[in-house]
Amino acid sequence: MERRKVRGHYEELASEYDEHWVYGSHYVPWMAGQITEALELGPSDRIADVGSGTGLFAREVADQLQPCSPILCIDPSEAMLSQLGTQPPAGLMAIVASAEDIAEGRTRLPYEQLDAMWLKESVHHVADPERTLRGLADRLALGGRMLVVMLPTTIQYPLFKAALARFEELQPDPAVIEGYLRSAGLEASVRFVEHELRISRDKYLGMVRARYMSLLSTFSDSEIEEGIDEMKVAHPENELVFPDRFAFVLARRRGQST
């Protein structure tokens, strides 16, 4: 998806983004706990969430961790970041910048180096992930950790067939991301974590209509409506239950932090 279209997509989605995830689900605290554990976060770490969106997950991590220095919520979409409020909550700091801006040093961070950073479902928006991840890796202190949370190359969401097929065309492979992190000089590994999503069918159809995934922005209004009709036939049940599976690509810069 072109950069301009990506930005437009998130401008439109920003005000309702969080609603898609908070409704009757333990998903946000669960995911925040997984991120905290994988990155071995401690309160004294200098932390960034790159492509943080509305800060939904950073907020939960900050609540759980009570960090000494604010978690940097970095995102190129002002509309998404503005959901943090004009006065971001304690433990968070908003920075309008892309991953590339940080990687290339165009935007300076308040911390000289980072002990931990994560990119959750934002790496697919980065134009040249190899170069950008290398630049981000250079921002890590010795012993610093980076976590890329991304969907696998195939998903079992109850979407219409054309959407699933397009997802498979567009989604980067976590193994390739792992390779980029290794060639950036980090130790890297991939594992998968899974969470069962239960969601009312009507709510999910509404999310598809609102194009809750950026991939759905590649379909016209009439294609979305046709897709929704297809989903209604394939899923007559009132509640949709499906696995949300994520790749956790975890990398570490060798050496001991000082």
Ligand X SMILES: C[S@@+](CC[C@H](N)C(=O)[O-])C[C@H]1O[C@@H](n2cnc3c(N)ncnc32)[C@H](O)[C@@H]1O
Contact range with ligand X by CB under 6 A, out of 105-113, 119-127, 167-175, 241-249: 119-127
Cβ 126 to ligand X, closest distance in Å? 5
Pairing mode, if any, of strands 92-96 and 71-75?
A: parallel
- Six token digits for residue 119: 């990119």
Cβ closest to ligand X, residue 11 vs residue 196: 11
Cβ 149 to ligand X, closest distance in Å? 7
If one asks whether residue 12 binds ligand X (CB under 6 A), the answer comes out as no
Cβ closest to ligand X, residue 56 vs residue 94: 56
If one asks whether residue 53 binds ligand X (CB under 6 A), the answer comes out as yes
Q: Is 15 left (phi over 0), alpha (psi -120 to 50) or beta?
A: alpha
Amino acid identity, position 85: G
Q: If you count them, how many residues does the chain have?
A: 258
Contact range with ligand X by CB under 6 A, out of 92-100, 188-196, 201-209, 231-239: 92-100
Among 50, 116, 190, 251, binds ligand X (CB under 6 A): 50
If one asks whether residue 60 binds ligand X (CB under 6 A), the answer comes out as no
**Distance in angstroms (rounded) separating the CA atoms of residues 8 and 13:** 9
Pairing mode, if any, of strands 187-200 and 239-252?
A: antiparallel
Please state, as a whole number, how many other Cβ atoms lie within 10 Å of the Cβ of residue 3. 12
Cβ 190 to ligand X, closest distance in Å? 18
Report which residue's Cβ sits closest to ligand X: 53
If one asks whether residue 121 binds ligand X (CB under 6 A), the answer comes out as yes
If one asks whether residue 177 binds ligand X (CB under 6 A), the answer comes out as no
Strand intervals (E) in 40-130: 47-50, 71-75, 92-96, 114-120
**Distance in angstroms (rounded) separating the CA atoms of residues 133 and 146:** 9
Positive or negative, the CA dihedral 122, 33, 181, 189 is negative
The contact set with ligand X (CB under 6 A) reads 6, 10, 50-53, 56-57, 75-77, 80, 98-100, 120-122, 125-126
